[in-house]
Amino acid sequence: MSKNFELGKEYYDNEDYAKAIEFLKKAKDEKEDAETCRLIGLSYCMLEDDSNAMFHYFMSIAIDPDYAATYNNIGWLYQRMNAFPLAIENYDKAIKLDPSFAVAYNNRGKLYGFLEKNDLALNDFREALKLCPNEPFYLKNAGIMLTIKGENDEGFDMLMKAVQLNLEDAHVYDYIGQNYQKFSDYKKADIYFTKAITLNPTDSFIKEHYESNKELLTRFKMKQEDSIVRSLLVYGCLIMYLVFVYVFSGPYIEDMLRWDEIYNDELFMLFGMCISGLIIASFILIKWVSFDDRAKIMKISCFFYPIICLVMLSLNGLKYGLGTVVLFGVAGIGMYFLHLYGEDAVRRK
């Protein structure tokens, strides 16, 4: 290639298209070839001079009718002019002439996506990725299309891979944020929405997603704080109740085992206080704690119950310890059934 062509290509790469045209035209005067004419057309295209761009594209095709890269550029120009059938026709020609032309697959896929022909778009993006598996822009386009089609897992993986390949694209971060938001992970969503709006602060959709997630994150934090307070209150009530049972039941266990004295006033007071504590703790569980959180409490209780049994038996002996263990067991079973009733009541509402 001539010195003028090299200078023109350098100016084009540095996005100085006017200078690129100047030197590429000098190179064309020295020797006409398809690539030089194509680059002149592409420079005019970047300057939005469509007529001169198309003229030089056709000149390139006249020199080499099988030059795939020029058909791809013609397709892109027709696409910008909203002549979509002509654009697809030229992308088809480019791919037919060079089946390994990943850029043409990607461009045709983007046009199919714009036309809402999502299956065709995804097929083209996959073909582009087969040829260039680590090209972040192809990963981005395929990931977004998969997300649109509802194939979130694969789409999310592709978008994350594009980010890992240092693709600084606001829409990629925005789509990743939306994916985290779908699964209520508002903290991670906030990280990606913040990055997206940093890269493109003027995009109205990104701004809307960012602000919406901020609101959801604030609500989530408030709910989380309330949940912690409620959980502490519930655990406090349960611990107080169990301590109460342990402290006050010991002296009366022997009386409880003598059924002929079951009408003892002190025993009735003890049972009344135990049942009242059980009802209060269960009421708190049902009214203030979600079904999932209650289930966690039940699982923890089931884990500690055998330990409590062993401790009570070892500290108090069989007679006193067994009575306390029975009380704990009855309390636990009662809470479990009230826990299930609470969820059933919620569902009925």
Number of domains in the chain: 2
Q: Are residues 202 and 230 in the same domain?
A: no
Q: What is the pLDDT of residue 97?
A: 95
Q: Are residues 200 and 287 in the same domain?
A: no
What is the value of pTM for the model shown? 0.61
- 152 and 114 together in one domain: yes
- Are both 49 and 163 inside the same structural domain? yes
Give the model confidence (pLDDT) of 80-128 as tens digits. 999 999 999 999 999 999 999 999 999 999 999 999 999 999 999 999 9
pLDDT at 265: 47
Q: Provide the residue range defining the domain that includes 33.
A: 3-219
Looking at the structure, do residues 49 and 161 belong to the same domain, yes or no? yes
Sequential DSSP letters for 175-202:
HHHHHHHHTT-HHHHHHHHHHHHHH-TT
Tell me, letter by letter, the H, E, C secondary structure of 242-302: HHHHHHHHHHHHHHHCCHHHCCCHHHHHHHHHHHHHHHHHHHHHHHHCCHHHHHHHHHHHH
Q: Tell me, yes or no, whether 115 and 229 share the same domain.
A: no
Using the predicted structure, report yes or no on whether residue 234 has a pLDDT greater than 80.
no
User: In this structure, are residues 105 and 127 in contact, taking their beta carbons and an 8 Å threshold?
Assistant: yes
Do 190 and 238 share a structural domain? Answer: no
Are both 34 and 141 inside the same structural domain?
Answer: yes
Among residues 194, 219, 244, which one ends one of the domains? 219
